[in-house]
Amino acid sequence: MEAGGAGEVDHLAGERATAQFDVDHMKVAWAGSRHAVDVADRMARLVASDPVFRKDNRTMLPRKELFKDTLRKAAHAWKRIVELRLTEEEANLLRLYVDQPGYVDLHWGMFVPAIKGQGTEEQQKKWLPLAYKFQIIGCYAQTELGHGSNVQGLETTATFDPKTDEFVMHSPTLTSSKWWPGGLGKASTHAVVYARLITEGKDYGIHGFIVQLRSLEDHSPLPGVTLGDIGGKFGSGAYNSMDNGVLRFDHVRIPRDQMLMRLSQVTKEGKYVHSNVPKQLLYGTMVFVRQTIVADASKALSRATCIAVRYSAMRKQFGPQTGGPETQVLNYKTQQSRLFPLLASAYAFRFVGEWLKWLYTDVTHKLEAKDFSTLQEAHACTAGLKAVTTSATADGIEECRKLCGGHGYLNSSGLPELFATYVPACTYEGDNVVLLLQVARILMKTVSQLASGKQPVGTMAYMGNVQYLMQCKCGVNTAEDWLSPAAIREVFEARALRMAVNCAQNINRAPSQEEGLYELSPDLLEVAVAHIQLIIVTKFIEKVEQDIPGEGVKEQLRNLCNVYALYLVHKHLGDFLSTGCMTARQGALANQQLGKLYAQLRPNAVALVDAFNYTDHYLGSVLGRYDGNVYPALYDEAWKDPLNDSPVPDGYREHLRPLLKQQLKLSRL
């Protein structure tokens, strides 16, 4: 871990001395293993020590320069990966710590997985080696100008021509333009394009096609292909390093075998044929992508909380009325009540993300064995976790910025750019509201099947205990009773189930089910959130119950788990009260215990964010420096701005001087 420059005072040393646990072991608990800590350490230091990966000037670069800088970093990263013969794990971490959105994210994160999941063995043998060696650069062209979440409404067409054994790719309308795919604007040579497959005059719906977009000789667009960047986006630096693109086809022909044919194919004669591979296998790729998004949520929120905790521990404001030293901002209860739940959430999202990795493996194995019994539950779980964690993270980063006061508004704090880079996650790979409504529909279906005796599985298994959960009473009598994992789990299960049952009953009273689902959609969102929050709380409890080495580590994780759960009780108290899961007095006891937990976390706060093991380079924040030497860094950073290149600004002679010298022609008033 970087600890500031040579000779600098570690202003946070006193905070670290108060830690009541083994920070090194907490790093292992966070990362998953000692091996993971060591590999992350090496890759983080490798990036931080390389001047090519400098990023402190990123928010000051014009868009063209920023994109060129992204190309340079991506090429240099690949060079280092090859030179050092890095493993896939090491290469992924190196790209993570470079910390600059770019075309490689979509190449590795979407293009390659799409071919793996939807391509035949022959197609994989042809295309994947080219992608692995970067002999082609790919992106994922699904979203259009007129349609995003409604994939079935996409307008791009792929019409088969049996005379030439080709598909004709075409954009029939302005709204059929592919819009938003990362890497498409300037970098990609190929794309997996999703289009309506038309053969023998019949529309067979959306299918994937591998389409070359640019020449491999001079990178110019191929005939019939119109493409470019869609323009600047929210924030300075941030996601503007990504070349999100627009793409239109004018009757572009591709060979028939460039249709991704693992699940279905078109014969030379134009016949549409299903393969014997079950279409449900596509869900494996979906689970993989969403698992990655949940893991990214934890990384982003942990970065923000690391910055806010360290700065709050260093910053002092006001003090006792009688005089004396000023108070550390982190000692204020208002700061703790806003910041510590975010710290707990970062840990919670990390551990549920670990569990999602296991779920991906489990679902994949079952799908390959043609066991689809857990598929619906896995879809609900991954969709809901993507929605809840990304929304909470986006809101949490912004809250951390506010918690850093005025200095948090500066680009040098790292928080504005972190927010602007992260917030697209609330929309891509499924709009969060749309995903939560999908979860709610599955929950309503599960509730409707309870009377038939069908037992829910996986994360929905608690619903099978419907008779008990619909009438059980919370057994909490003291504030300390809220520290019981069993009490917490039961009250979250009762809340989720009762909200789902109540909503299902209200839908049944509607003239039709579809009308009921439409009218009650706001309630359905809350039902889905309650279910997903139960999953996160449950997985956090299960993590704490594991055998965790290191003195004091388990106790601190238990405190964080309780903070996360009781903060949700506080935030959604209306749900718990209105469903009869607890009394108002029990809600007050939960708040009382929450305050005690904040006090217990306070001496350990800095050490808990140290456990994330982030270098100063990766954090990219003068406020979140490991050594806490914030004010000199803020002062020095200000002078780096191009506006300070000269003491007299450009435009002085044309605009300021005439005004100051009263040489402007003034109209009569």
Q: Would you list which residues are annotated within the binding site for FAD? A: 143, 182
Helix runs in 572-665, H state only: 573-578, 584-601, 605-610, 616-619, 630-638, 657-660
Pairwise CA distance, residues 150 & 166, whole Å: 27
Pairwise CA distance, residues 108 & 187, whole Å: 14
Q: Is 492 exposed, middle or buried (0-12, 13-18, 19+ CB in 10 A)?
A: buried
Task: Give the single-character DSSP code of 255.
Answer: E
| Residues 15 and 605 sit within 8 Å (Cβ to Cβ) | yes
Closest CA to 176 of 196, 190, 192, 204: 196
| Residues 532 and 572 sit within 8 Å (Cβ to Cβ) | no
Residue type, 385: L
Pairing of strands 166-170, 157-161: antiparallel
SS3 of residue 472 by DSSP: coil
Neighbours of 299 (CB within 10 A): 20
Pairwise CA distance, residues 99 & 241, whole Å: 11
- Which two structure tokens, joined as six digits, stand for 436? 């939560």
| Residues 433 and 391 sit within 8 Å (Cβ to Cβ) | no
Cβ-defined contacts of 52-58 (< 8 Å, 24+)? 52/76, 53/77, 53/97, 53/98, 53/617, 55/99, 55/100, 55/617, 55/620, 56/412, 56/620, 56/637, 56/640, 57/640, 58/100, 58/237, 58/241, 58/417
Residue type, 440: A
Dihedral sign computed on CA atoms, order 493, 496, 502, 506 = negative
Encode burial over 521-547: b for 16+ CB neighbours within 10 A, e otherwise: eeebbbbbbbbbbbbbbbbbbebbeee
Pairing of strands 138-141, 157-161: unpaired
Cβ-defined contacts of 394-398 (< 8 Å, 24+)? 394/419, 394/422, 394/423, 394/425, 394/426, 396/301, 396/304, 396/305, 396/342, 396/345, 396/346, 397/300, 397/301, 397/304, 397/422, 397/423
End-to-end CA, the chain: 64
Pairwise CA distance, residues 250 & 253, whole Å: 9
429 an active-site residue? Answer: yes
Annotated binding site: 143, 182
Catalytic-labelled residue, pool 398, 417, 429, 493: 429
Q: Is 230 exposed, middle or buried (0-12, 13-18, 19+ CB in 10 A)?
A: middle
221 beta partners: 214
Scanning the structure block, which residue is given the tokens 């999202």?
349
**Residues forming the active site:** 429
